[in-house]
Chain A
Amino acid sequence: MKKYFKPSVFFLSLVPFLIIVYKIYFNQLGPEPVKEITHHTGEWSLIFICLTLLMSPLKSLTNLTIWINLRRMLGLFVFFYATLHMLTYVVIDYRLDFSSISKDILTKRFIFVGFASWLLLLPLALTSSKKAVLLLKDKWKKLHRLIYLIAILGVIHFLWLVKQDLTKPLIYTVIVFILLLLRFRFKKI
């Protein structure tokens, strides 16, 4: 059972990506396809951030280390979906028009925050290997706490981009808030 757990989570994590590939191929993206891809990849980045943050509370609750084994993979999926999200915007939507993109980053606060969170994900993805953990020792833990900041920036990015109906971004804000709060509690105990 245990042997198959991690690979199954891996394939499940790929499903949102396969959905997009399917929708592109069969032209199922609706009238505004680029926006659809942007929203889909953006939302799944946030979902994977939440899943990643859920792993250590789950470990504390269940006393099983299996969750920690999943954590790195889920974190890499955050990077995977966030990169797809960023590339959709840069390559498909703005076709590498870097003057428009840099103007957007500097003048639109939600794009600034979104781009910043992607940049912050980079060092985490680069130091995800076992080797890096051994090499960086204590520093690794400190560095990877950046995910808390990324989670907060991620929900701010969502809150700032919606037009009027804040329901969905507020749901993510509450989830991230609870997940971060759990850490304070576990630390004290």
Chain B
Amino acid sequence: MKKINYSEITPEKIYNKRRTFIKSIGLSAGSIGFATLPFMKQALSKNDNKLTSYKDITTYNNYYEFGTSKGDPYKYSQSFKIKPWNISIEGEVENPINMSMEEISETFLSEERILRLRCVEGWSMVIPWMGFSLSQLLSKVTFTSKAKFVEFESVYDPEQMKGQKYPVLNWPYKEGLRIDEAMHPLTTVVTGLYNKKLPNQNGAPLRIFIPWKYGFKSAKAIVKIKLVEKMPTSSWMWASPREYGFYSNVNPDVSHPRWSQATERVIGNDIFAPRVKTLMFNGYGEEVANLYTGMDLKKYF
């Protein structure tokens, strides 16, 4: 296994110091725009959760394009080319667009968003992402009346992504959201973490992150965002519809055939640390539960 340079780890300490500094001058500081959103104040205050270490966030990944072991994405993604990179927004829109990564970084200001990640396998992290709301990006296009869902398509490049040479999933990776889910301010376009550029193994140059859904919903290395009329079939639904539903909201009451979802292990804790209770919508119920009013979440899992 390759070793992580010490220089890669240190920013975390400086980073944490900086965070306490920001805290000490008060959360109302204009620099953290995210905290000024009413729903995020609560999310931050609840965040007694310790940030997961930079090392764990960047070496323990599910990213099957680079291999199915947790260490594979770190090992095999370092030479992955993310320049040039274009993202198209198309489908049921009046004005399909194609933006380069440079244009996106110039147009949208990334802010720090500390969000919890809950993997369907029963583990969780707390990650200081850098990003902005997907709704901002989607505001660049005008939806037609037929647009009901958003489909995300990840890059397909088996030459660079050795995992795509095997039919583990139906490549390219696809995910989807209902429009109202996609437009929710918590649905984040991620461009970085720990105040640094997004590492390749975490989905560089651009991924989405939906904190109230299981991790696999948050597609990485996105090249296409398509507005569609019918509910898209995600790669995991394709692989096993019995196990993975379209919604995949974090829900301790709906058990997965393999993993009980009632509890989770916090990444970075030692072996004697107990499991912690999983929260409905991963703790973001106050912000997102109204999206699902009247829905039977056991049926629409």
Contacts and interface: CB of A to CB of B under 8 A. Distances in A.
Interface of A: 24, 27, 29-35, 37, 92-95, 100, 103-104, 107-110, 160-161, 163-165
Contacts of A109: 257
A107 B258 contact: no
A32 B123 contact: yes
Interface of B: 56, 59-60, 64, 68, 70, 121, 123, 168-169, 239-240, 255, 257-260, 262-263, 265, 267-268, 270-272, 274-275
Contacts, number: 53
Given A32-B60, A165-B168, 10 more contacts: A30-B60, A31-B56, A37-B271, A108-B259, A110-B258, A161-B258, A163-B258, A164-B68, A164-B169, A164-B239
A110 B256 CA distance: 12
B260 A108 contact: yes
7 contacts: A27-B270, A33-B270, A95-B275, A100-B263, A107-B260, A164-B68, A165-B168
B60 to A, nearest CB: 4
A94 B271 contact: no
B255 A24 contact: no
Given A27-B270, A100-B260, A164-B68, A32 B265 contact: yes
Kindly list the 10 A-B residue pairs having the minimum CB-CB distance in the complex, ordered from nearest.
A165-B68, A33-B271, A31-B60, A31-B56, A31-B267, A34-B271, A164-B168, A165-B168, A32-B123, A104-B260
Contacts of A107: 255, 260
B260 A29 contact: no
Contacts of B274: 95
B275 A94 contact: yes
